[in-house]
Amino acid sequence: MSTLFNPLINGFHPDPSVVGVDGVYYLATSTFEYLPGIPIHRSTDFETWELIGHVATRPGQLGVEKVPTGGGAWAPTIRHHDGVFHLVITDAMGRGMLHFTATDAAGPWSDGDLLLKADGTGTIEGIDPDIAWDADGACFVTFSGLQLSGALNPNQPAHLGIQQVRVDLATHRALEEPRSLWSGTGLMFPEAPHLYEVDGAWYLLIAEGGTERGHSISIARGPSPEGPFVGSPGNPLVSARSTPRPIQNTGHGDLVVGPDGEWLCVLLGVRPRSGTRAFSALGRETFATPVTWADGWPAIAPVELNPRPGTRAEVVFDGPLDHEWVAVRRLPTEIADLESRSSALVLHADGTTLADSRPVFVGRRQEHLNNAVTARVDVSAGVGGLAVRYDEAFRIEIEAGGGTVTARASLGGLHQEWSAPLGTDVVDLHLDSRRPAPGRGIVSTSDMFHLGFTPDGGERVELAQVDGRFLSSEVTESFTGRVIGVYAVDGDVAVLRWAAEGDDE
């Protein structure tokens, strides 16, 4: 039997959906305002996963250029039907509810068709769509009826529960008005619906309780995709709330038959640290856990922590960027110049900073709780550096140029800087995430960021330490996670080398 690592996919990879096709598994996750959008991981054993591509790799597939922070690609469902991969998703506050297709999950994927209301006046309004077909080929789109548009208070949008429509995929138009389905046990935010036919019965799996500590998974059963559905006596099937489990916020799951014929559930969760386990540095990650069946109902085991060994990645920029690189509201290829200088990634400043919605920034997800990144940069023609970003308001930077190195913390409107002179144009910038030192008391933190630099031919200089709790999902109230990358704010900055290593001990 394969080792079931947890996290299954490290770092910012929330809202997982999985499908098995001829012994191969394909897993999709949310990306919000980052591009390329909607990564696709592939595995044959549920142990080793490879990032094979993304759904949104071209301008226009996702309309995230102007979405507010936290908008964009929300909660995909990936399925395979009649030889074609299908993926439905809500581009929240962007294009709307979308349907993508591909013959190869690695891509290319279609441009994305809007799923229209029955009267054709606009897209179906809701989030977290699921797509399923019955034996007659009728297509059902089931979704969470969160109304994001027209709300009097954007922090209190209307929620219509779990809804469903039959859809004609030839026209991408609903064939009826939405109907309400079973919406859980009464907890807030029923969402993430998935439909399955198992042994002649239909099951409706949903998340409820919110995507924070109250998150959970519940299930109902009915005679058809349209119901009526009756909830399981074992609900909620999954919840870590009020438990000492090291993985919290478990919910938003998808079921699949695993490589050994046993059922599995992929779901999101967080790994909080501190004395009160209050701060989740990496945001929502993908986990997996076994599923068993009895008397026509599934039971989902609590998620067990089983981290992978540490990793190390080195990049020297002698070819195209790999799939791990992302940018904010635009594609990395729009700002990563790999042609003008040999074995270097050159960033050309355009007047933006990391406080702007579309910075000149390309990065990779922080994958480990203990993590160290070094970027060697040439700032002879500009100013830029290395940063860890949650969003525009929460970030930590170490920046070089103009004869100075500056460490900077921007935390929800609070700003602090530390500077030192720099006598060279080529410098290694260091951004390390480490466990806090012992002796900080019962209430501690998630980690400490250590910011430093090594001038060309010199010794490492420690410039600042910043409490990592301020870049956690609980403090930032973010749907994403830490992304560490390089950026430019003036002139041209050449990145000569990138190295990242970490572990979860």
For residue range 340-363, what is the model confidence (pLDDT) as tens digits? 999 999 999 999 999 999 999 999
CA nearest neighbour of 203 among 269, 126, 265: 265
Residue 261 falls inside a structural domain: no
Per-residue pLDDT, 457: 84
* CATH code of the domain covering residue 37: 2.115.10.20
Taking the C-alpha atoms of residue 185 and residue 83, their distance in angstroms, rounded to an integer, is 36
Would you say 234 and 261 are in contact if contact means Cβ atoms under 8 Å apart?
Answer: no
Asked if 227 and 315 sit in the same domain, the reply is no
Asked if 183 and 81 sit in the same domain, the reply is yes
Asked if 214 and 346 sit in the same domain, the reply is no
Domain boundary among the residues 214, 241, 268 is at: 241
Residue 485 falls inside a structural domain: yes
Q: Summarize the confidence of residues 472-496 as an average pLDDT.
A: 96
* CATH code of the domain covering residue 456: 2.60.120.200
Residue 140 falls inside a structural domain: yes
Residue 347 falls inside a structural domain: yes
Per-residue pLDDT, 155: 61
Would you say 206 and 236 are in contact if contact means Cβ atoms under 8 Å apart?
Answer: no
Share of the chain above pLDDT 70, in %: 97
pLDDT digits (tens, 9 = 90+) for 173-184: 999 999 999 999
Q: Summarize the confidence of residues 332-337 as an average pLDDT.
A: 97
- Pairing, β 173-174 against β 179-180: unpaired
Asked if 337 and 217 sit in the same domain, the reply is no
Which amino acid is residue 430, in one-letter code? H
pTM: 0.96
Asked if 233 and 317 sit in the same domain, the reply is no
Catalytic residue among 91, 130, 191, 378: 191
Taking the C-alpha atoms of residue 203 and residue 201, their distance in angstroms, rounded to an integer, is 7
Q: Summarize the confidence of residues 213-240 as an average pLDDT.
A: 97
Q: Summarize the confidence of residues 486-499 as an average pLDDT.
A: 98
Considering Cα of 264, then 1, then 261, then 109, what sign does the dihedral take?
A: positive
Residue 306 falls inside a structural domain: no
Domain boundary among the residues 219, 241, 263 is at: 241
Confidence class of residue 156 from pLDDT cuts 50, 70 and 90? low
Domain boundary among the residues 190, 211, 241 is at: 241
Task: Report how many domains make up the chain.
Answer: 2
pLDDT above 90: residue 276 = no
Asked if 231 and 106 sit in the same domain, the reply is yes
Per-residue pLDDT, 152: 45
Taking the C-alpha atoms of residue 453 and residue 379, their distance in angstroms, rounded to an integer, is 13
Q: What is the DSSP letter of 486?
A: E
pLDDT above 90: residue 47 = yes
Residue 298 falls inside a structural domain: no
Q: Summarize the confidence of residues 304-326 as an average pLDDT.
A: 95
In the residue annotation, 474 being an active-site residue is answered as: no
Asked if 72 and 202 sit in the same domain, the reply is yes
The residue segments making up the domain with residue 356 are 311-503
In the residue annotation, 191 being an active-site residue is answered as: yes
Catalytic residue among 15, 367, 399, 428: 15
Asked if 210 and 333 sit in the same domain, the reply is no
Q: What is the DSSP letter of 303?
A: P
pLDDT digits (tens, 9 = 90+) for 413-470: 999 999 999 999 999 999 999 988 776 666 678 999 999 999 988 899 999 999 999 9
Residue 446 falls inside a structural domain: yes
